[in-house]
Amino acid sequence: MTSPEFPALVAVLFGVVAAVVLFVPFVAVQYRREGRLTFLQVVLWVAFLVYALALWTYTLLPLPDPDDMRCVGTQLTPFQFVSDIRSYPIDSLGGLARNPAVMQVALNVALFVPLGFFLRFFWRRGVVVTTVVGLLISLLIECTQLTGVWGVYDCAYRFFDVDDLIINTAGALIGGLLAALLMPGRTSPDDGAAAAPRPVTFGRRLVGMICDGLAVWLTGALAAAVFRVIWFYALENPYGSDERHTNIVAVAVPFVLFGLGTLATGRTIGDSAVLLRWRGGVRPTVLRSLLRYLGGIGGWQVLSYLLPGWDGLFVVALLVCLIATSSRGGLPGILSGARPVDARSVDAAH
């Protein structure tokens, strides 16, 4: 029997995984839309992903065993929940609070209130759009339940209730109204502020370095997975005999891919995400970019393969140099002689 905490665990686990996978695009979008990234934005981003998955898992999971499932019907009478509430004692506040029908309505409303907030915070949508989106998402969930997950099951294993559409939409509306009260100017972004150059801070460079590390790690993991599939299935080699080759692929693919990208553009994935460019330093430009790459994420990749254990010390050295250099160029800046600047100031000069 599946634990009642199972949907929550699934939502948290996959929400965190999604936050890691989508972190670099999220950073890039935030810097281009608002010109900065705050800790609160990161926390709310992770919370949104966990919430989005929770919305899905709580309405669909646990999936039943096809041999044991029971088909359920539908409730197509609007505002049936009013009669359900009146069928229980409501002669006192305590009785109303303990009323299971009231609790069900309150939980359904609460489930969709965050949707209004997140739509306004991240996508700057107004109350009308928030309400419509809440209706559409609720309709998608109800139709998924009604169709047995779109034909996966022979019939519906969860109850289709038209009142859920009404209550969920009301929750999204309330969330949009609350967000409008708390953040009245959120739907009117200051494009001038987003385009204005900002200082190159320790936090900004650190976020860029984290983006580089995640991009390299995810690319290496994907390359290794593809290689294992080819090695085992296409080449029909025995499982487990590919470990050394897999490690080489996991390091070589991102090293070459991101190295060539740095040489071609003059900046890493992380630099691009947080809107940084590099100016000054040794010549020619290709040599400067190579030294920067080896003084940063590229050097970490080499050490992680050739001298395991030293890559951790290299990360410490990167952080120490980042703190010690007033320009926030860190070790890449020391080796290349270049300094990081806001890309918007460079673009404005041209």
Q: Which two tokens stand for residue 225?
A: 């997975």
Q: Alpha-carbon distance 240 to 243, whole Å?
A: 6
pLDDT at 3: 55
Q: Taking Cα atoms as reference points, which of 54, 23, 26, 40 lies closest to residue 183?
A: 40
Q: Alpha-carbon distance 193 to 31, whole Å?
A: 11
Q: Taking Cα atoms as reference points, which of 254, 282, 250, 283 lies closest to residue 268?
A: 254
Task: Give SS3 for 35.
Answer: coil
Q: What are the φ/ψ torsions at residue 277 (nearest 5 degrees)?
A: -125, 165
pLDDT at 152: 80
pTM comes to 0.79
Contact 109, 102 (CB under 8 A): no
Residue range 248-266, pLDDT digits in tens: 889 999 999 999 999 999 9
pLDDT at 63: 75
Q: Alpha-carbon distance 79 to 81, whole Å?
A: 5
For the chain, domain boundaries: 1-62, 70-196, 197-349
Residue range 289-344, pLDDT digits in tens: 999 999 999 999 999 888 888 889 999 999 999 999 999 999 999 999 999 999 98
Q: Residue 4 gets which letter from DSSP?
A: T
Percent of the chain scored above 70 by pLDDT? 90
Please name the residue that has the structure tokens 């359904």.
Answer: 108
Q: How many CA atoms lie within 13 A of 341 on its CB side?
A: 14
Enumerate the H helices of the chain as residue ranges: 6-21, 23-34, 39-60, 80-86, 93-98, 100-123, 127-146, 148-151, 162-182, 191-195, 202-229, 243-265, 269-273, 285-294, 297-306, 310-324, 330-336, 343-349
Helices 297-306 and 243-265 sit at what angle, rounded to 10 degrees? Answer: 160
